[in-house]
Each structure stands twice: as C-alpha cells, then as structure tokens.
Structure 1
Amino acid sequence: MATEGEPGGLIKVVHLFLLATAWGMQLWVTFIAGFVLFRGLSRHTFGLVQSKLFPFYFYTLLGCSFLNLAIFATFHPRELLSTSETIQMGLFFVGVLLAAANASWLSRSTTKSMFKMQAIEREHGLGEEVGLSARREEYQRLKEKDAKYRGLRQKFFTFHGLSSLCNLACFLCTGVNLAFLALRLDGL
C-alpha cells in the first residue's frame, strides 16, 4: 500500500465502521426494508414512509461516503496511488456524487411527483390497497383518461428509476471498496 503516512488504529476503525455502516444500510434499505414494506403497507402509506426514510438514508449515506473518501484521500496521495487504490479512490468519489444526487435532487423530485399522484389517486378512491394491486385496471383507466396524472406518473417513474439506478451503483461502489479493504487485511 503506497501511502504518505500510515493511519493510526482509530482512523482504521473509523474508516471500516463508516464503510460497513454505509454498505449494511444500503443492503437493508435497498433489498430488505423496501420489499417488506411494499408487501405489508398500502401504496400511499408505503410512499409516505419512504418519503420520510429516504432523505435521512441518502444524507447518512452521503456523510459516510464523503468521510470515507476524505480518510482514504488523506492517506493515499495521488502521486503514490497503485492501480487498485486509483480504482478505490474513483469508486469513493463516484459514491459521493451518486449519494449527493439522490440526497439533493432525485429523492425530492420523486417525492413531489408521488404526492401529486397520490392526491389524484385519492380523488378516485385508489391507493389504499396493499402490495401488488388487484385494481391495476383502475390505475390504467385513470392514466388513460387523465393527462395530468399520466404526466405525473411518467415524471415519477423517471425520477424513481434514476434514483434507484444511482442507489444500486452506489451500493456496488461501496461493496467493491469493502472487498478491496477486506482483501488487504492481514488476518482476522
């Protein structure tokens, strides 16, 4: 490992803790909590929970990602980086950018569109069903007859898709950095 100075034990523990916290949080929110909540709550309640949870999640992820980048960059000067360390630095940086995009823009835009859609759905008696809707035809009819709803739905799915893509890419960045760190451990 090419470094200008060796980090102390506390710095190593903080770096590992932040990386593990980010990855564990991403794993839980992305692959477990969302599916459990989707299957157990009404559509509108699920949306409300996510609108409260996601800002906290994305800003916590942004903080962990930024601190990991700062710690890594402090002890790995650009001139001394190996190929694997260059990849890690890039992954940390991409993780910060993706978390920032979700925290500051995509999450908010998705939530605004969702709440406007939900208001229209409520007017038509929709949104209180749990899980995959047996009322899909009603949503389809609403989409076909209401241009405003159709536009909001398209906007929602565009922002939601971009947010999900950023989240998955950030998860991969964090996971690869965690693997790089684990491969350099001398022993457990």
Structure 2
Amino acid sequence: MAKINGNEIRPGSIIDHDGGLWAAVKVNHVKPGKGGAFAQVELKNLRDGRKLNERFRSEDKVDEVYLEMKDQQFLYESDGKLVFMDSESFEQIELDADLLGDRRPFLQDGMTAAVRYYGEEPLAVTIPQKVTCKVAETEPVVNGQTASKSYKPAILDNGLRVMIPPFVGAEERIVVNTETFEYSERA
C-alpha cells in the first residue's frame, strides 16, 4: 500500500478506508472561495457493494491499494457460484455469480477472464469487452433495408435481447460489446 494525498484520488483508484476496500467511482475536485480545496469522492465497497460519499482534503493521507490481476479460465457454474481455474497452477476458485452482475450471460465455457486479487482474496472479475454470440431469434432479412440506419430486436443464444442491423439474420454469429450491450460487428 502506498500513502497518497486526498487530492490524488482518481476514478478507478482503490483505497483502504474506514476498515474496508473501496473503489473510487466518481471524483469531483472542488475549490471553494472560502477554505481549502477538497475532493468529493463517490466510493463503492468491493466486498459488499455499499456506496459512500466522502470528502478528502489535499492534506488527508489515504492508503492506495494495488490489486493483482490474474487471467483465469471459466469452467462452469454451480449453485450460484462461478468456478475459475488458474491456467498456470491449475488451482480452482469459486466466486459469486453476482460479481459479474448483468454481464453474467456473456460468460462462456472456456472463456479467459481477469480476476483481481487483494492478497489471496478474489474481489472482482472482468470479462473481455467484446464477445461473440449467436443470434437465436430475429425478424427475417428484408431486401432493400441494408442501407437504412434502423435496427431490429434479436434474442441471442445466451437469452439477452440486443438491437442488430436489418441485414443480420438468425443463426448468424455477431460480436457484442459487453459494456454497452450493443451490436459491434459480424463475427
């Protein structure tokens, strides 16, 4: 852990504060007309998801924490737990499926995900930004609609609904952005 000043906190910084590990979600630097400058920081607890708004002055010292990232392969899901395997040591770990939130349907067997650790404790899982999925259901392709900028609804093989261009048909493979849940390109 490194000590940093309160005004050095940036979005994405992870700090040890108030007996827990917190990620800075939003940071707003304020310089009032009267008094000293401060950073208004929205924090999210990495262990239980609680949110907290905290004010840090520039002279406040906070402990910045660095999390180790390890690439791990997803094996399977069992009773709400996701099982990952370290590709070097072949150790298996179980994580709550809630860690992925609404991105859980994008996790595919054999996919490599980045698991962030604090010491030996896994805290977060990051899946690739773009994932290939198959279109399970959509309206049929209509000739002459390829030039328009309209989109049509589709249901993917993982059950998610996305909007796709009219020229993409059922059973085709597409690339979907896992952050925005939007069509990116044909696979």
- Report if TM-score (shorter chain) is over 0.5: no
Q: Which structure has more RCO (C-alpha within 8 Å, separation ≥ 6)?
A: 1
Could you say which structure has the larger radius of gyration?
Answer: 2
TM (norm. structure 1) is 0.20
Relative to its length, the structure with more strand (as a share) is 2
